[in-house]
Chains A and B, each alone.
Chain A
Amino acid sequence: MLDLDASVMLALALSVASAVLCVGYGLRRWHADDDPAPRTPPSADSLETGATMRVNADGVDSTARADADGVASTERDGG
């Protein structure tokens, strides 16, 4: 038995419980993609125009975005 004060024992228990929570969450949500945002960034040239960003925000799929940006992004989106 560890000879620790209650407050230190609680800190130790919470630390281990948090790590277990991380492992459990990671395993449970392993295949869940709960983040539906587009996965390919707008082209660098669009930084100031805003045009491409608006296209992305509207949820247009990667093919349309690739056309707009002139960047082939299919492979990256497949991941």
Chain B
Amino acid sequence: MSAQAVDGGAVDPGVLALVTAGYTLAVAYLAFRGYRTTRSSTDYLLAGRDVHPFVMALSYGATFISTAAVVGFGGVAAQLGLGLLWLTFLNVFVGIFLAFVVLGKPTRRIGLRLDAHTFPEFLGRRYQSTFIQVFAGLAIFLLMPLYAAAVLRGGAEFLRSVFALDLTVATLLFASVVAIYVIVGGLRAVVLTDALQAAIMFVGMLVLLALTFARVGGPAAGTRALSGLSGQVPEALASGGMVGWTSMPAAGSPIWYAMVTTLILGVGVGVLAQPQLVVRFMTVRSGRELNRAVLVGGVFILVMTGTAFTVGPLSNVYFMETRGTLAVAAAGGNVDGVIPLFIASAMPAWFVVLFTLTLLSAAMSTISSQFHTIGTAIGRDLYERGAAGGRGPQAGSVVATRVGVVAAFAITLGLALSLPAGIVAAATAVFFGTCAAAFLPAYVGGLFTRRITRVGAIAGMVTGFTTAVLWLTFAQASNARRLLLSQAVFGRDSLVSFPWSAIDPLVAALPVSLVTTVVVSRFTRPLDADHLDRCLPGERS
């Protein structure tokens, strides 16, 4: 083991400020380009449907990977070990390959035929239901701010640690910059800035991986040292089933259930029904662009998540060597503090500058898409389709969405400032899991089969969403404990016993949603044949 017993060099504030200013100018330039080429609601909502495949793939990846993945899940990996690499596998295979190749093409094709501009609008038009569009918009409006707040909090925490800013100031500054370019340039600005940010993230994470291996003596020596720490597993984790950082937790233990159902399945499968990602498929010209995007997306996600889930556990080797303590303990018990502390302590000053840009990019690229998605949910799906009954002027879409983005900014900011520490990964998993439970059966069914009826889709979405929320509130102990409602009403954290109390809402609610969708569709009237021919011309019932 050869972790160096020296802390990272001090960063020159002048250099850091200069580099950050240069980055901000580059983002501002790309946002301006987006603004200048935005002339219609299709430009503002779908980047004109003519995005270059590599730009689309980088935008998808940068939106997918946020500070939650780098700081939040990196910190969780420091605590629970390299078993989180299963999530990397699902992120690449399910989140990129299956998503682009299997779901992306029909999504693009049907979205175009129905002229859908948002994910709720896609579902609503596919099932010819205003209720579905408004319900999906409402679900996004209610749930996505929590996820956005977690990402914002992760970025702001890092800004605070690097620039020595007050957390409130860092959060406000960060959110304001992103909101401005989303409001002005819409999705064109978002995808262009995403591409730049993804490139920075890719370089930053590759260098982080190389430097971390150098710190611990290489991959072989590092994993050997990490394996040797298995005797240091804290008692609380050992009693929950953790056996070391180079192994999966004991099968069937509470930590195993949490890791497998919440972190791996919740996020790994939940990604398929993410509104802010699904719309990316509708931004390219043809299926050929999606073929090309797969290439970039797969490599990008492998490097991003693979690095975060490797560096987190290996930071234990560094901290044990230099401070005689485990990473989470060195960070004061806050898992979200591990990666920032590791960077500040173990990395050279020049890398702190690069990593600052990496995290700024990761947070900004995700938050910009979240603001855009919440804004479109408010403006297009809830206001235009819901409140205005679909009769609002077409030009009003952009105005209403811009107002929606302002609202998204305010709500997210308020939440970010009130979230407890260590919430980043959990909030992300909650959003991913709930989205999958609510939307996945109706979305996938709508792409491939004529047999899902409007009533079936509605029933599945409502039961999936309701089951997920109830499970979060009254069953899954880790989240129910935070929400306090179960304790207040029933006097205990969870109404179910282990192992159900450790299971993620996705695992409980997705089957309910799926079965409901299929069964109700079996007994209700199918959609109009002309409409089905328009959506799925190749399939006949």
Contacts and interface: CB of A to CB of B under 8 A. Distances in A.
A41 B390 contact: no
Contact of A26 (B86, B89, B294): B294
Interface stretch (B92-100, B195-203, B417-425): B92-100
Nearest to A35: B287
A38 B533 CA distance: 15
A29 B291 contact: yes
Interface string B249-275: 000000000000000000000000000
A23 B394 CA distance: 40
Nearest to B57: A26
Given A3-B227, A25-B295, A30-B291, A18 B93 contact: yes
A57 B50 CA distance: 20
Contacts of B534: 53-54, 56-57
B246 interface: yes
Contacts of A18: 89, 92-93, 96-97, 298, 302
B219 interface: yes
A38 B534 CA distance: 12
Q: Which of B82, B108, B299 has the most CB of A within 10 A?
A: B82
A29 B484 CA distance: 51
Nearest to B264: A11
Interface residues of A, number: 45
A29 B534 CA distance: 26
B286 A35 contact: yes
Interface stretch (B109-117, B179-187, B321-329, B488-496): B109-117
Contacts of B246: 3-5, 8
Interface string A1-38: 11111011001101110110111011101111111011
A25 B99 CA distance: 13
What is the interface of chain B mostly: helix, strand, loop, or mixed? helix
A2 B219 contact: yes
Given A3-B223, A44-B40, A45-B394, A11 B83 contact: yes
Contact of A19 (B41, B292, B299, B537): B299
B295 A54 contact: no
Contacts, number: 159
Contacts of B447: none
Interface string B373-394: 0000000000000000010001
Interface string A46-71: 11100001101101000000000000
Interface size class of B (residues with CB under 8 A): 35 or more
B248 A7 contact: yes
B454 interface: no
B497 to A, nearest CB: 27
A79 B285 CA distance: 7
A10 to B, nearest CB: 9
B248 A8 contact: yes
Nearest to B41: A44
Contact of B115 (A5, A25, A34, A46): A46
A35 B296 CA distance: 20
A30 B82 CA distance: 34
Contact of A35 (B227, B247, B248, B288): B288
Interface string B124-145: 0000000000000000000000
A39 B88 contact: no
A39 B287 CA distance: 10
Given A8-B246, A34-B105, A57 B292 contact: no
Contact of A25 (B288, B291, B394, B537): B291
A41 B110 CA distance: 10
Interface string B53-94: 000000000000000000000000000011101101100110
A39 B109 CA distance: 8
A34 B287 contact: yes
A41 B85 contact: no
B127 to A, nearest CB: 15
Contacts of A40: 49, 112
Contact of B89 (A14, A42, A47, A56): A14
Contacts of B296: 26
A29 B293 CA distance: 11
A79 B298 contact: no
Q: Which of B83, B226, B294 has the most CB of A within 10 A?
A: B294
Contact of A23 (B82, B226, B298): B298
B220 interface: yes
Contact of B247 (A7, A45, A46): A7
A5 to B, nearest CB: 4
Given A15-B85, A29-B291, A41 B42 contact: yes
A11 B88 contact: yes
A16 B92 CA distance: 9
A23 B82 CA distance: 25
A35 B50 contact: no
Interface string B269-283: 000000000000000
17 contacts: A3-B226, A7-B247, A7-B248, A8-B81, A18-B298, A18-B302, A23-B295, A23-B299, A26-B296, A32-B287, A35-B287, A37-B108, A38-B112, A44-B115, A44-B394, A54-B530, A56-B534
Interface of A: 1-5, 7-8, 11-12, 14-16, 18-19, 21-23, 25-27, 29-35, 37-42, 44-48, 53-54, 56-57, 59, 76, 79
